[in-house]
Structure 1
Amino acid sequence: MSNRKPSPQTELTRTLATELRAVYRKLKLRLREHGGANDLTPSQASVILRLEKDGASTVSSLARLEGMRPQSMSAIVAPLQQSGLVRGAPDPSDGRQTLMSLTPKCLKWLQEGRAARQDWLATTISQKLSVHEQEKLQTALELLTRLVED
């Protein structure tokens, strides 16, 4: 068994990873705070985002994509329907199926929430960071983008 200490570079890498995750978490929470009221569960939010991205879908298809049973997905979708965020309509190609889709109310809510988060972030950047710091942030974002590219 080796008693070697990690290299300074390894320590820096670990510290950067830890701090990056912490900052990401805080930023995500702050953006949520400024996006308007959000009483959705993570599963409900996931369904809404999936319907927005992929379009109308049956409860069974949503369940399969989310890795759960259709009965569980029905329990997630029902409150979304009751709140007017999601609606069901007969599938034109198979009338026995119901296609779930986002309502105009939901689309407006998504748009307003995103706009509020964007406004908060842009205002915060301009108020808290100098022009030089904003340029440094742009460089850091380029590096972060490289981290998540495939």
Structure 2
Amino acid sequence: MNATPNDPGPMRTSVLAQDLRALMGKLKRRLRDQAHVGDLTPSQVSVLLRLEKDGPATASSLARAEGMRPQSMAPVLGALEAAGRVSGAPDPADGRQTLFSLTEAFRKSVEEGRAARQDWLTRTLQARLSPQEQDEVARAVELLKRLVDD
């Protein structure tokens, strides 16, 4: 059976998937290098993203959301608190609980990191790609969105 333009064949598709995964990993590393956020564990990053998205939360609710035991969440929050990324305050609904939230300094750092990554990528696109190539990338981005949209 011959491959058609709509069915390039399993080998070609597999190579494309491998190349795309490697390229996205390299792009992610380059973007991360622009932010200078320091070393964070995957659990710490996940908690920070959750607090940014969902707002203040207790250790037990974070543990449930992350699929962890509450005892395992304590060192994650402790490290983030010691680094000045999160702070805890008594829960107004239940004073026995502590609500954790991102510190203002860390929020500012996140915004600055995102701006630095955006600036680097914008400058790199402009410096290395012609307007026509940028149009090609825009079309490719639309196709990539179809891969991840549910």
Smaller-chain TM-score range?
over 0.9
What is the alpha-carbon distance in structure 2 between the residues aligned to residue 43 and residue 28 of structure 1? 18
> After superposition, what is the alpha-carbon deviation per residue over 1:74-98, rounded to whole angstroms, capped at 9, x for unaligned?
1001011112110111111111111
What stretches of structure 1 move > 3 A for 4+ residues in a row? none
Q: 2:113 aligns to what?
A: 113
Distance 2:123 2:90 in 1: 44
Shift of 1:8: 5.0
Provide TM-score, normalisation by structure 2.
Answer: 0.92
Partner Cα distance (1:56, 1:78) in 2: 15
CA distance in 2, matches of 1:42, 1:124: 28
Residue matched to 1:21? 21
**Identity of paired residues, percent?**
57
Q: Which residue of 2 aligns with 1:91?
A: 91
> In the TM superposition, what are the counterparts of 1:97-136 in structure 2 within 5 Å?
97-136=97-136
How far does the alpha carbon of each residue in 1:37-85 deviate from its partner, in whole angstroms, 9 at most, with x for none?
3221111111111000010000011111111111111100101111211
Cα root mean square deviation, aligned = 1.7
What are the ranges of 5 or more consecutive residues in structure 2 without an aligned counterpart?
A: none
Q: Per-residue CA shift, 1:116-135, capped at 9, x if unaligned? A: 11111111111111111000
State the SS of the aligned residue for 2:88.
strand
Task: Provide the residue aligned with 1:62 in structure 2.
Answer: 62
TM-score scaled by length of structure 1? 0.92
User: Any gaps of 5 or more consecutive residues in structure 1?
Assistant: none
Alignment partner, residue 11 of structure 2:
11
How many residue pairs get aligned? The number is: 147
Q: Which amino acid aligns with 1:92?
A: P
| Residue equivalent to 1:44 | 44
Q: Which amino acid aligns with 2:111?
A: Q
Task: Give the match's secondary structure for 2:121.
Answer: helix
